[in-house]
Amino acid sequence: VELLEEKIRREGKIFEGDVLKVDGFVNHRIDVAFMSEMGKELARRFAGESVTKILTIEASGIGVACVAALQFPGVPPVVFAKKSASKNMSGDVYASEVFSYTRGRKYDIMVSKEHLSADDKVLIIDDFLAKGSALPSLIHVCEQAGAQIVGAGILIEKAYQCGGDLVRKEKGIRVESLARIASMDPQKGIEFC
């Protein structure tokens, strides 16, 4: 966790409009060795939960989720929700809507019914948790499938936004974020919780 905070301080770039860019190790270039350490920490936090499936969303979530999966007992498969700009979805899928503040528009996410079921104990893994992130929609997808949600493992949470607390309090779901940002500003830098 301290490693991650250090890495965000050193390599993250803060822009106006509440934007944190971590393209250098998460969102474009993936520091796989480092992700493996993050995966170990997530596996430690969710030890004993007998996760049968890891659910994430394309594209940046896939790397974190796959590398983390290798650290969990039995190496659970990763299912990644697909993004679609339209409602043109084929056949048997669970779908949910996300509003992206970054892009200023809605998009749908979908998961094939074939790959998520009521027998699953699901850990959701994603890179970011903030206002308008995909987590509530991934939870919605699990609910549609009747799958049990073990919790959510997140790399970076903007803790000054409501995204995480809504899930923790309203849904009663365990959310473990490896770095929780208390505040950030292009001039003053970044503070962690």
Q: Provide the binding-site residues for its own copies, judged by CB under 8 A.
A: 23-25, 28-33, 35-36, 58-59, 62-63, 65-67, 69-70, 75-80, 82, 111-112, 114-115
When the beta carbons of 57 and 159 are compared against its own copies, the nearer one is 57
When the beta carbons of 6 and 165 are compared against its own copies, the nearer one is 6
When the beta carbons of 5 and 127 are compared against its own copies, the nearer one is 127
- Of 19, 98, 100, 34, the C-alpha closest to 64 is 34
The one-letter amino acid at 52: T
- The tokens describing 11, both together, are 């390599």
Q: Whole-number minimum distance, CB 131 to its own copies, in Å? A: 23
Q: Whole-number minimum distance, CB 23 to its own copies, in Å? A: 7
The one-letter amino acid at 123: L
Residue pair 158/190 in contact by the 8 Å Cβ criterion: no
Other C-beta atoms lying within 10 Å of the C-beta of residue 191: 13
When the beta carbons of 33 and 118 are compared against its own copies, the nearer one is 33
When the beta carbons of 64 and 139 are compared against its own copies, the nearer one is 64
Q: Whole-number minimum distance, CB 69 to its own copies, in Å? A: 4
- The tokens describing 149, both together, are 């949600």
Q: Whole-number minimum distance, CB 137 to its own copies, in Å? A: 16
Residue pair 145/121 in contact by the 8 Å Cβ criterion: no
Q: Whole-number minimum distance, CB 91 to its own copies, in Å? A: 12
Task: Calculate the CA dihedral of residues 116, 135, 109, 145 and round it to 10 degrees.
Answer: 30
